[in-house]
Structure 1
Amino acid sequence: MNEKKTIELFTKKSGDYASSNYICLNENDLVVDAVKRAVEKNKETILAQNKNDEIIGIVTLKDIFKKFVTKFGQKIKIKDIMTSPVIYVNMSDLLFHAVGIMRKNNFTHIPVLNDRNKEVIGILNLSDALFAELGNTISHIDSLTQDENDIQGLINIKKYQPILVENLLQQNVAPGDIAYLLSFLNNLIYLRSVNIAKKEISQKFKNFTVPNFSVITMGSGGRMESFLHPDQDNGIIYSGDENKETDLYFEELSKHFTKILDDCGIPFCKGNLMASNPLWRHSLNGWKSQLENWTKNLSQQSMRYIEMLYDFRSVYGDASLAQDLRKFLLNVLDNKYLQKFMYKNEENSDAGLNIFGNFVLEKDDEENKGLFNLKHTGTLPLVESIRLYSVKYQIEEISTQERLDKLKSLDVFTENEFDFFSNAHKFLSLILLKNQFERAKQNLSVRNYIDVYKLTDREVRMLKMYLKRIKKLKDKVRVDFSEEYF
């Protein structure tokens, strides 16, 4: 088995392999004309569009020559022979997901769409030779992309995650790629859980017309930075008006899919930041109204809600609803006074070093006494600082690394600062991943606390170096947002 290709399957995105080997034609074009145009342009795949330029079907020259060359006449149109509706993947979908879908549907080609506007960016073509070369890895892909109605299959996906992490860590895969994979798998579980929940409640609501809706995940899941044991942070956005019947449907739906997620190993949020809580399910207009109330209220709790919501992404349904809400959220937060209040809500979050440069270890929590909370006194103050600058500069990107890259392009951070904070985020993530994997391997509870005495001397030096720099970043944030100079 080719190890490089195995790694790429689980870390590379479908958009990285999309080719321009396709042509878009109208569904009413004659097949004979379509073949002629495709051959002239040296394209193998034809994507059929309707009058609104929406992709509604797909056909390959191989299909035409193999199945229809002796069977269709001069008047046969593309729509008469195309495969429809079109099954596609998004450019941010990991490659293994596309391979699994293609195998399950016996496809050799699949369109790749832009996540945001759903426009075609290319065609993915995975040959039989690629499948054969990957050997046993295909069985893993099949298990991860099996029947969407099988809850046990979702449980298996969650159980398989530590094995994937072990393999990728052994092959020195970047921690950001591993976190993206874990987040992607969790989002896949979300998607299938919602589908299962919809079927479970369908009879109860058989006379109800379900509006378009989007299920969103927030926090580390939204940033695609999850590790091995994230809890649920989710919500629902739906189109139309809010009324009792609609809310009852989404209440039932959310209760079912959050229970499925919990059964699969993505536990309920202890703070109840879930769609089963009416605070986190609204119409698009209802969300906008709630956001305005949160910003007028300016309580610590409302700021916490806004910060959690800011890191959201759509994992199911109509992504345009999430895009609309994000634009509104960015506009609402384009307020210096509000940004200052957001900083005040986070100013006590700091890197865990005392004035002597030693680690601040847990004293009060008996279970974690003497351990270092690498999330709350390590990654969190870094992520929060980057998020504040993203709010200030109206940055739409969601992941910490993408935000850092955008902030560098805006000259908010120098090249050296970008490199340092980017590497700090990667290093802290690597230490957390290693610690969580080791605990999972020993069937211990996965947590964000580490034993600093088990780190190597080099890891201790690097951790302290990055934490000191994060403390300086927090000082910079204080100047830029609170207008306190020192």
Structure 2
Amino acid sequence: MKSYEELKQWRKQYIHSVSWDHQKLNSFHDELMKKTVQIALEKVEGEWGHPPTHFAFFVMGSAGREEQSVWSDQDHGIVYDHSTKECQEYFLKLGEEITDGLALVGYERCEGNVMASNPFWCKSLSEWKTQINIWFDKADWESLRYFSTFFDSRALYGDDNLVDKIKVYAMKKLDEQPFLYKRMYENVGFIKKGIGIFGQLLPEQKGEDAGCINLKQTIFFPFVNSLRLLALMEKITSSPTLERFQQLPEHFHSLKTYQADFMKLLNYRLYFQKEATNYKKVHLLNIKALSTNERKELKKMMKKGYKLFAITKDIIEKRCSR
């Protein structure tokens, strides 16, 4: 396939055949995005020549964690080796072409502009290290949110060592300032309540989402945020939540048991949301569509996530008190 339109048609024809299997679906997304990047690079090379230095195009968010559903928006960036004006101009141009290409193929643009077309997310290796220092020095809500977003990154095309170098640098800096672990926990400490005091599900009450539970906010975030924090403390550079579970050291054996619950949650979302018509709807679940047993299962997964998050808090507080 040599055009974005061909990739768009391929997506339409094929995606529903893998929409029932989490691993196959995310492998398909990876392949689709890689082919988009290849076409974008060929277009830029035709005008600007070959890349002036080594680089990596990386994805973040659900793509970085390999947790995409049928629909996904764009969250990505670029890191390149040499810090020159020539490199900056080249890779910003590439970032713009990739962003436009992904939009044409079927990936909505990020509302927060977390894309490689934005100079903030397209930097040299040395500039990325400087950015890590800035985020940690400020340590406010926005800075730590940006860092958490970056730490879920995964190189999709190019030199993946460049992304790992930034992560390793960040983890060394965290060792020098362990109080930041607690700040990061506090940064994600608010969890949208999904269960009431009488054990009832708490859907949205107003607006177009009335009657729906937001799976991302009420169930996914406790698992995802917990494993990101644990990965940082244990020097795990992998971004997929499932891989982070697998790479936890043996003294976290009891936490590894939550991996099965998270896998069940991923499949649960696919089962109910595979017919969603846009990115926003893949996170919404109308509780009226659930049977009594399905509601019980949903509440069970919520409680598991809340418990994991509470355990993570205790681990962080002990680490920070040393």
2:251 match: secondary structure: coil
1:412 match: secondary structure: helix
1:235 match: secondary structure: strand
Which residue of 153, 173, 176 maps to 2:6?
153
For residues 421-460 of structure 1, give each alpha carbon's deviation from its aligned partner in whole angstroms, at most 9, with x where no partner exists.
Answer: 22221222122112221334xx997431101121122221
8 Å CA contact 1:371, 1:449 repeated in 2? yes
Number of the residue aligned with 1:423 = 260
How far apart, CA to CA, are the structure 1 residues paired with 2:292 and 2:233? 38
The letter of the residue matching 1:418 is K
Number of the residue aligned with 2:62 = 220
8 Å CA contact 1:219, 1:312 repeated in 2? yes
For residues 384-409 of structure 1, give each alpha carbon's deviation from its aligned partner in whole angstroms, at most 9, with x where no partner exists.
Answer: 112111111212332212212222x4
1:291 match: secondary structure: helix
Number of the residue aligned with 1:124 = none
2:64 match: secondary structure: coil
Number of the residue aligned with 2:284 = 449
How far apart, CA to CA, are the structure 1 residues paired with 2:32 and 2:167? 23
CA separation of 1:452 and 1:238: change in aligned 2, threshold 3 A: same
Which residue of 201, 220, 224 maps to 2:44?
201
The letter of the residue matching 1:187 is D
**What pairs up with 1:37-52 in 2 under 5 angstroms?**
none
Which residue of 169, 172, 178 maps to 1:336?
178
**What pairs up with 1:358-373 in 2 under 5 angstroms?**
358-364=200-206, 366-373=207-214
Number of the residue aligned with 2:273 = 436
Q: Specify the structure having the higher radius of gyration (Cα).
A: 1
8 Å CA contact 1:242, 1:282 repeated in 2? no
Number of the residue aligned with 2:73 = 231
Q: What is the Cα deviation at residue 159 of structure 1? A: 1.4
How far apart, CA to CA, are the structure 2 residues paired with 1:200 and 1:257? 10
TM-score between the two structures when normalised by the length of structure 2: 0.91
Which residue of 178, 182, 189 maps to 1:347?
189
8 Å CA contact 1:343, 1:482 repeated in 2? no
Q: What is the Cα deviation at residue 276 of structure 1? A: 0.7
The letter of the residue matching 2:38 is N
The letter of the residue matching 1:410 is E
CA separation of 1:332 and 1:354: change in aligned 2, threshold 3 A: farther
How far apart, CA to CA, are the structure 1 residues paired with 2:61 and 2:125? 20
* Bigger RCO of structures 1 and 2 (CA < 8 A, at least 6 apart): 2
Q: Provide the alpha-carbon RMSD of the alignment.
A: 2.2
TM-score between the two structures when normalised by the length of structure 1: 0.61
Number of the residue aligned with 2:134 = 293
Is 1:277 the counterpart of 2:118 in the alignment? yes
8 Å CA contact 1:288, 1:325 repeated in 2? yes
Is 1:389 the counterpart of 2:230 in the alignment? yes
For residues 49-77 of structure 1, give each alpha carbon's deviation from its aligned partner in whole angstroms, at most 9, with x where no partner exists.
Answer: xxxxxxxxxxxxxxxxxxxxxxxxxxxxx
CA separation of 1:355 and 1:324: change in aligned 2, threshold 3 A: same
The letter of the residue matching 1:432 is R
Is 1:324 the counterpart of 2:165 in the alignment? yes
The letter of the residue matching 2:245 is L
For residues 296-353 of structure 1, give each alpha carbon's deviation from its aligned partner in whole angstroms, at most 9, with x where no partner exists.
Answer: 1111111111111111111111222123223223223334211111001011025522
1:383 match: secondary structure: helix
8 Å CA contact 2:174, 2:180 repeated in 1? yes
How far apart, CA to CA, are the structure 1 residues paired with 2:295 and 2:110? 32
8 Å CA contact 1:183, 1:225 repeated in 2? yes
How far apart, CA to CA, are the structure 2 residues paired with 1:162 and 1:381? 28
The letter of the residue matching 1:478 is K
8 Å CA contact 2:215, 2:285 repeated in 1? yes
Q: Which runs of 4+ in 1 moved over 6 A?
A: none
The letter of the residue matching 1:225 is E
Number of the residue aligned with 1:92 = none
Is 1:191 the counterpart of 2:44 in the alignment? no
The letter of the residue matching 1:434 is Y
Is 1:181 the counterpart of 2:19 in the alignment? no
Number of the residue aligned with 1:103 = none
Which residue of 69, 77, 100 maps to 1:259?
100
8 Å CA contact 1:351, 1:471 repeated in 2? no
1:231 match: secondary structure: coil
The letter of the residue matching 2:282 is R
8 Å CA contact 1:165, 1:437 repeated in 2? no
8 Å CA contact 1:242, 1:286 repeated in 2? no
8 Å CA contact 1:340, 1:482 repeated in 2? yes
How far apart, CA to CA, are the structure 2 residues paired with 1:356 and 1:478? 25
Identity %: 29
**What pairs up with 1:134-173 in 2 under 5 angstroms?**
147=1, 149-165=2-18, 169=20
CA separation of 1:377 and 1:338: change in aligned 2, threshold 3 A: same
Q: What is the Cα deviation at residue 279 of structure 1? A: 0.7
How far apart, CA to CA, are the structure 2 residues paired with 1:357 and 1:323? 43
CA separation of 1:479 and 1:320: change in aligned 2, threshold 3 A: closer
**What pairs up with 1:117-136 in 2 under 5 angstroms?**
none
Is 1:210 the counterpart of 2:46 in the alignment? no
The letter of the residue matching 2:169 is F
For residues 68-126 of structure 1, give each alpha carbon's deviation from its aligned partner in whole angstroms, at most 9, with x where no partner exists.
Answer: xxxxxxxxxxxxxxxxxxxxxxxxxxxxxxxxxxxxxxxxxxxxxxxxxxxxxxxxxxx
Number of the residue aligned with 1:461 = 296
Q: What is the Cα deviation at residue 161 of structure 1? A: 4.6
8 Å CA contact 2:226, 2:308 repeated in 1? yes
Number of the residue aligned with 1:411 = 251
